[in-house]
Structure 1
Amino acid sequence: MKYNAAKASKWGLLGWVSSSGGNPLIDVFSHASSDMVDFHISSVFQARNAEENYLRIQDDALTGDMSSVDIATKKNLNDLVQVAEELLKKTVSNINLRTGIHEPVKSNETNAEALTRFAIRLSEQRKFRKSQTLVNNGNI
């Protein structure tokens, strides 16, 4: 759930436990850690001019059963597959460290294309490291 700071500032104890059909206190704690990880890791990669080495694909707009981690009904799992397939079609975005808002990257690369690029790079790295291990062990 998304919460409005102006409304939240007027909540009492019960408002933080239950408001607008959600549990604000639990939602804030669970989402804050995820957002902070994204912010901090993104900051490190941007500071090192290595943004192309960081990819996080996430949908913050899940609602209802799809936002719950413990509802594994066939319908819910199928709905999550649909969400994932739509996410793959979306343009890669990065967090703007000044605003905290995710913005599309300039390359217009889709998440699916980025995952393919990552898979190729990881495969190449594995092959290289494997070849270096063989060289260092005197097998070549």
Structure 2
Amino acid sequence: MSEVSKEITRKNPDFFPIAPMDYGRFLVLSLGTGTAKSEEKYDAEEAAKWGVLGWLTSDNSTPIVDVFTEASGDMIDLHISTVFQALHCEENYLRIQDDTLTRALSSVDVATKENLENLVKVGEKLLKKPLSRVNLETGVFEPADEMTNEKALIKMAKLLSREKHLRDSRSPIGKAPPPK
């Protein structure tokens, strides 16, 4: 979203004239690649005693890398969710992410036929799960309403298609056929 705002500020002709911070007009679809189940494997009291080496290697893992990796994605989602919820246009932001993956399913390095087939199954199950949004008070994902991820994706696809055709119809470059 920051990059889009920059392009709008630079008056890039690919973007219609809107205010750079007019997030209420943005439609954002964020599809996660899945994350490992939150295992709460680090204890705050224990971590407080770690030195540099403890943060680099502890219990056959790399805590500092784990913390930064998880935190960056969570912070981005929390920030974007906060903006869209504050502007009362949370329907314009759809984040779908599975944070319950374990072992090989959560690894980007395991491209076996079996693992890829299992990831397809995870994706199919994820479509049937209820749509979730981050609770701004707790930072935890909670079911947002009765809609499934699949129905939310269909709704977002219709919004995106409608917006694309609207923009094409207003564009001096060319007109696209109307949506069916």
TM-score w.r.t. length of structure 1: 0.84
One-letter amino acid matched to 1:83? V
Match of residue 159, structure 2, among 102, 108, 121: 121
Report whether the alignment pairs 1:132 with 2:165: no
| Residue 67 (structure 1) shift | 1.3
- Aligned pairs (5 A) from 1:28-43: 28-43=67-82
| Residue 37 (structure 1) shift | 0.4
Size of the alignment, in residue pairs? 136
RMSD over aligned Cα atoms? 2.2
Give the direction of change, closer, same or farther, for the CA distance of 1:22–1:76 in structure 2 (3 Å limit): farther
Match of residue 140, structure 2, among 73, 77, 101: 101
| Residue 16 (structure 1) shift | 3.0
Identity of aligned residues (%): 53
TM-score w.r.t. length of structure 2: 0.67
| Residue 80 (structure 1) shift | 1.2
In structure 2, the residue matched to 1:58 is 97
**Local SS of the residue matching 1:70:** coil
Match of residue 70, structure 1, among 100, 104, 109: 109
Report whether the alignment pairs 1:81 with 2:81: no
In structure 2, the residue matched to 1:26 is 65
Structure possessing the higher relative contact order (Cα contacts under 8 Å, 6 or more residues apart) = 2
One-letter amino acid matched to 1:120? K
Gaps of at least 5 residues in structure 2 are 1-38, 175-180
Give the direction of change, closer, same or farther, for the CA distance of 1:131–1:89 in structure 2 (3 Å limit): same
Q: Deviations over 1:42-87 (max 9, x none)?
A: 0110111111111111112212111112221111111111111111
Match of residue 44, structure 1, among 83, 86, 98: 83
Of Structure 1 and Structure 2, the greater helix share is in 1
Give the direction of change, closer, same or farther, for the CA distance of 1:94–1:116 in structure 2 (3 Å limit): same
Between the aligned partners of 1:85 and 1:132, the Cα distance in structure 2 is 37
Of Structure 1 and Structure 2, the greater strand share is in 2
